[in-house]
Structure 1
Amino acid sequence: MITVLLKLLLAHFLGDFVFQPYKWVESKEQIGTKSKYFWFHIGIHFLLLFLVTSFKVSLIPVVLSIGISHLIIDLIKIKLKNRFSQIHLFFVDQALHLLVILTAIGVYFNIDWTNLLQIQDKWLIIILAFVLLTYVSGVIMKVVLSKWDLNHFEGEALDKAGWYIGVIERLFIFGFVF
């Protein structure tokens, strides 16, 4: 069932980082559940969860529990946006999503957690590492650096250049280590 865990993690990171444009994040933060992008985001999560589990009927409770909890966690994050810093909310939000995935897997499957890195899961681990190194780490760095005013550098090109340079650097490091 480690394969299912890795697939669910991949679906989460794709849904929260790869298939959620910044425009959607801004819209969700400004108008919350009234934003059509909030509901697109939740729909994409459900779709990805169903896709990675190959629409298996036995996994429907896992998909529903993760998808519904994602909706609830995001709703709570929106409600708390004015009470806590965006940095704290971001990390708590991600930690809760990951905890839900691990809990759902633990409840529905008897997993031997010591065999997390089995050989047959090698490609899923590589794909997950790729997503984490490219999209997830870039967003994490943006959130962490958001407390400093970096707006005195003008132009979209500079923002994109830094993003791509960071992604390429992390991919090189990953490639050399691998």
Structure 2
Amino acid sequence: MSFSLLLIALVIGHLLADFYWQPMSWVKDRNTRHYRASKLYWHVFVHGLTSAGILTLWEYHYGWSEWTRVVAATAIIICTHYLIDVAKSYSNKGVVAFLFDQLAHLLVLLAIAMYLTDNSDFIAHICQQLLKLNTLYVLVGYLLVLNPSSVFIRMMLEKITAGFATTGSIPAAGQSIGMLERVLMLTFILLDQFAGLGFLIAAKSVFRFGDLSASKDKQLTEYVMLGTLLSVSVTLFVGLAVNYLLIN
């Protein structure tokens, strides 16, 4: 209980300090001046103060057993946050860099929570859960509906439509939309929420109706319908197969 409480409190503190108490001017200053940015030090100070407050309250609640560990934990959070943010300032500022940045911060907080609560079984428990057969079935299902399904659908469309290609669209937009669509559909299937699946297909149809009705090209309408039906069919097949494996 103490481990979960401390971890979620540290995560809340991180979210507040990183996304609510950090103005965009601080972010721009860090990305421009890197380790020389004065606003970076203010940001790290806010993070350290927030973490110190959370750790102090947690230690006070559990009886001030070892306050030196609280000081050490706060120092670790401050130093690692500074180093991670400096490293991010030299990155390309894309989604991947953002995700790695946040993951690194969360791993530090996880390690701090494990250290202060002497909870060494958490990692072993997570690994045990990840290696369960049902977890692997679900993982394979999601992997199948992403790139492999995109390749299969593209090959089928090229074969059926003889290389027909849309013009004026964002490069790779159709593939990205299809992947997100299949992830959502597979999630609905695994949760046994087929009503959500129907809602997703209906919502997509409504959004595409204007484009298709305005288009004079019958091929475009057929192309979109084929792509949608193939995407739904592949995801239904994968989702039902995973559900069957999970039950049996």
Range into which the TM-score falls when normalised by the shorter chain: 0.5 to 0.7
Q: TM-score, normalised on structure 2? A: 0.41
Residue in 1 that maps onto 2:47: 45
Q: Which amino acid aligns with 1:90?
A: F
Per-residue CA distance 1:128-162 (angstroms, 9 max, x = gap): xxxxxxxxxxxxxxxxxxxx9xxxxxxxxxxxxxx
Secondary structure (helix, strand or coil) at the match of 1:92 reads: helix
Equivalent residue runs for 1:2-151 within 5 Å:
2-54=4-56, 56=59, 57=67, 58-78=69-89, 80-81=90-91, 84-111=92-119, 113=122
Q: Tell me: CA distance 1:85–1:19, structure 2 relative to 1, closer, same or farther (3 Å).
A: closer
User: How far has the Cα of 1:67 moved from its partner?
Assistant: 1.7
Q: TM-score, normalised on structure 1? A: 0.56
Residue in 2 that maps onto 1:125: none
Tell me whether 69-78 or 52-61 shows the greater mean CA deviation.
Answer: 52-61
Q: Does the CA-based 8 Å contact 1:62-1:105 persist in structure 2?
A: no
- Long gaps (5+) in structure 1: 115-147, 149-178
Q: Greater CA radius of gyration, 1 or 2?
A: 2
Secondary structure (helix, strand or coil) at the match of 2:40 reads: helix
Count of residues paired in the alignment: 112
Percent of paired sites with the same residue? 24
Q: Matched residues in 1 for 2:44 and 2:99: separation? A: 19
Secondary structure (helix, strand or coil) at the match of 2:56 reads: coil
Q: Matched residues in 1 for 2:37 and 2:20: separation? A: 19
Tell me whether 69-78 or 47-56 shows the greater mean CA deviation.
Answer: 47-56
User: How far has the Cα of 1:94 moved from its partner?
Assistant: 0.2
Q: Tell me: CA distance 1:36–1:15, structure 2 relative to 1, closer, same or farther (3 Å).
A: same
Q: Matched residues in 1 for 2:38 and 2:93: separation? A: 24
Q: Matched residues in 2 for 1:31 and 1:85: separation? A: 14
Residue in 2 that maps onto 1:126: none
Residue in 2 that maps onto 1:131: none
The alignment yields a C-alpha RMSD, in angstroms, of 2.1
Per-residue CA distance 1:18-55 (angstroms, 9 max, x = gap): 10011111111111122211111000000101111227
Q: Tell me: CA distance 1:52–1:107, structure 2 relative to 1, closer, same or farther (3 Å).
A: closer
- Long gaps (5+) in structure 2: 60-66, 126-169, 171-248
Residue in 1 that maps onto 2:243: none
Q: Which amino acid aligns with 1:22?
A: M
Q: Does the CA-based 8 Å contact 2:73-2:112 persist in structure 1?
A: yes
Q: Matched residues in 2 for 1:99 and 1:19: separation? A: 21
